[in-house]
Chain A
C-alpha cells in the first residue's frame, strides 16, 4: 500500500529539536512512507495563541488543513500538541458551518478551501492504523530486545478523548505500549506516562514544571526504564533538555535518555543512531545505545 501524507513538521522539529525532523524523514523513507512537507503552513498555536485569539488559531489551522486537501492527502503531524489542537479545531469548524464559511472566505484569497473530514494523524497513529503493527514488525531489523522503554504520550494526543477518535479507535491510549512491544522492547508501566510533562508552564511556574518532569523521569527510572519515548517534541524538551534542571529542583538522582518516537522506530529498523542525531540530546543516549549494542539476550 502506498502511503503518502501531507507533512506538518511543527515548530519544534524545525527549531529546538532538529533531530526529530531528521529522524522522521529518515524513518519515513525506510518505511516507504512518502511525505510532502507543508513548508508554508504556520504554527497551530499550541493552545497558547488560543488563549488570546482563538479565531487566529482556527484560521491558521484551517489553512494548514486546506493545504493538505489541495494536495489530496491526509495530514501527518509529529507532535502530540499539534494533534490535539488540530483535532479541536477540526471539531469546532465541523460543528459551526457559518463560522467555517467565514474562515473559508479568508482562505479563498490564497485559493484554499477547507472541507471538514480531513484525516489528521500523528505519526504514532499512522504506525498502528495505516502501516499496521504486523508490517512494522516485519520491517524490524534490529529488535530492541532487552531494552525497557517507558511511554510518554503528551496530553493532547490523549485528551479530550472524545475529540481524538476514542470511539472509532478505542486503543489509541495504548498505542505507544503496542509500538514499544512491536519493536521488541519491553514497555514500562508507570503512572506518569499519561500525565503532563509540565512544559506549558516552564516559563510561568518553573518549579512546578520541573517537579512534574522530575517526578515522571524518576518514577520510570525507578521502575527500571532505560529510556522514555514520546511522540511529542514539547514533552521531549522538558524531559530531556530540562532534565538537569529538574534534577536540581527535585533532588532526584535522575539520568534517563528521552527519545523521539521516530528515533525508536529507526533504531529497530537498523538505522545508525548518528543519522538520527541521537548524539544531539541533552541527556546522553549512550547508555541506551550501549545496551542495545550488546548481543540480544536469549
Chain B
C-alpha cells in the first residue's frame, strides 16, 4: 500500500525547519514505525527518531500522530488512515517536552518529575522474615499503574502541563499512586501531603486526555482521582482542592444540585478575602448579565438554603449510599 507521511522536522541548531513529506510503498500490515524506519533507511538518512523494541514494551517511540500522542510501533498505518492511501499522516514529536531533533525529545523533565514522587516502596517497620502478604485485590488495583512503560504519551498531551510546567503531570502522579496505593508502603500520608501541594493532584483538570492517549491502560487521571480520595480520607483537607470537593459535595447533599455561588468562597476559604475579591469583578459582570443565581445566595447547610424539589428522597439516597462503600484491603500476616 501507498503510505504518505508528513513529518515535522527540527534541527538542533536552527530549530523548527518545517515538514518533510514522504511517499512510501509498504506492506498492508506495516506500522507507522515501520514506515518511519523505511523513510529513514531509503529516503532520508537525516530523519531522527527513537525506537527499540517495536512491540509496545520499551516506550521509546511515542510521538504525535495526527495530533495525538501514540506509540508508532503500536499504530498500524491502515488503522490510522482507514485504508485511505491519500490520507497524509501528520507525524510530530511529543508535546510539552523540548525537541532535540525531529521526533526525538529531551526526556530530562519527564524523569525529574518521576523522581520527584519517590518512586520506590518505603515500607513501615522492620522487614518481615518471610514475604509480605498482600491481598489480591490490592495488587490487582495496582496492575494498571505497573503497566506503565514510561513512554510519556500522557505527558505529551497533558492539557495542564501546556500552561504550567510546574505540574507534576500524569505519568509521575500515576507512579505516585503505584506506591501510595500499595498496602506495604509506610509513607502514604507523607506522600499524599506532598502530592496535595501546588503542582500536584489538585491541579489536574480531569480532562481525560491522558486516559485517552495512554497505550497501556494506565489511565493516569483515574489514579489521580484515587490519590485525591486517599488524601481526603487521610484528612489532608486544608487545601483548595479538597475544600472544593467538600463544598461541592456539601451543596449536593444539602440541596440536591450545585450551589455555584458558594463554590469560590467554599474552596479558597471563607476568610480568604484577597482571593475572593479577585472574583468580584467577574461576579458583578455575571450579575449584570443575569447569570448570578440569586436563589443560591444562602450557603449550603445554612437555614433557608436552596433545595431542589423532592430533597427528602435525595437525602435518603445520600444516607444509604454509605453501604455501597467497598471494604478496605489490608496487609495480613
Which of A's residues lie within 8 Å of B, judged by CB? 11-12, 14-19, 39-40, 42-43, 45-56, 58-60, 63, 84, 99, 102-103, 105-107, 109-110, 155-156, 158-161, 191, 195-196, 198-201, 203-209, 211-212, 215, 241-242, 244-245, 277, 280-282
Taken together as a complex, chains A and B put the C-alpha atoms of A210 and B215 apart, in Å, by: 30
B18 to chain A, nearest CB (A): 18
Question: Are B258 and A15 within 8 A (Cβ)?
Answer: yes
CB-defined contacts of B228 to chain A, threshold 8 Å: 51-52
Number of interface residues of B (CB under 8 A): 66
- Selected A-B contacts with CB under 8 Å, 29 pairs: A49-B252, A52-B228, A52-B229, A56-B317, A59-B317, A59-B321, A59-B324, A60-B314, A63-B317, A84-B208, A102-B324, A103-B324, A106-B324, A155-B208, A158-B208, A159-B212, A160-B211, A195-B207, A201-B160, A201-B205, A203-B240, A203-B268, A208-B163, A208-B167, A211-B163, A241-B282, A241-B285, A242-B282, A282-B285
How far is B207's CA from A160's CA once the two chains are assembled, in angstroms? 9
B210 to chain A, nearest CB (A): 9
Known: A15-B296, A47-B206. 5 other contacts (CB 8 A): A18-B291, A42-B314, A51-B228, A204-B202, A208-B167
Structural contact, B291 and A198, CB atoms closer than 8 A? no
What residue in chain B is nearest A210 (Cβ atoms)?
Answer: B163
A205 and B286 contact, CB distance less than 8 A: no
Question: How distant is B64 from chain A, measured CB to nearest CB, in Å?
Answer: 11
Interchain CA distance A281-B289 in the complex, whole Å:
6
Residues of A within 8 A of B252 (CB): 42-43, 45, 49, 56, 60
Which residue of chain A lies nearest to B159 when distances are taken between CB atoms in the complex?
Answer: A196
A-B contact count (CB 8 A): 200
Q: Is B23 an interface residue (CB 8 A)?
A: no
Which residues of chain B are within 8 angstroms of A281 by Cβ–Cβ distance? 289, 291
Given B203, B232, B292, B310, which contacts A208 in the complex, CB threshold below 8 Å? B203
A207 proximity list for chain B (CB < 8 A): 164
Q: For the complex, is B140 an interface residue (Cβ under 8 Å from A)?
A: no
Whole-angstrom CA separation of A181 from B154 in the bound complex: 32
A12 to B219, CA, bound (A): 28
User: Who on chain B is nearest to A55 by CB?
Assistant: B324
Q: Which interface residue of A16, A40, A209 has the most chain B CB atoms within 10 A? A: A16
